[in-house]
Amino acid sequence: MKIVIEEYVSPFKKGKNGGRSPKRLQTNFRMDPIPWKWTLYDGLNIVSYGYTHTEEDANISANRAINQYRPRRA
C-alpha cells in the first residue's frame, strides 16, 4: 500500500512571472479551489483518491481510506 499526496500545480504558474503577463494578472485572477490530491495505491492499481483544501486534510482522508481498505484479520 502506498499513499501519494501532491499539490496541484496550474499550468499557468510555469515560467517567468508565473507564465502570466502583468496585464493578465490584473484582469483574470484565478484561484484553484481544491489544490491537494491524495491517491491510495495497491501495487499499480489505484484503490481510492480524493481532493482536499489543505495538506493536513489530505493526510487525514488518505489514512481513513487506507483503514477502510485494509482487510480485517480474524
DSSP symbol at 42: E
pLDDT, the chain, mean: 77
Higher pLDDT pick, 34 / 71: 34
Instruction: Compute the average pLDDT of residues 50-71.
Output: 89
Domain ranges of the chain: 2-69
Q: Give the count of beta carbons closer than 10 Å to the beta carbon of residue 3.
A: 17
pLDDT in tens, 13-40: 555 555 555 555 555 556 557 889 999 9
Give the pLDDT of residue 16. Answer: 54
Q: What is the pTM of this model?
A: 0.63
pLDDT in tens, 53-63: 999 999 999 99
Residues facing 3 on adjacent strands: 40
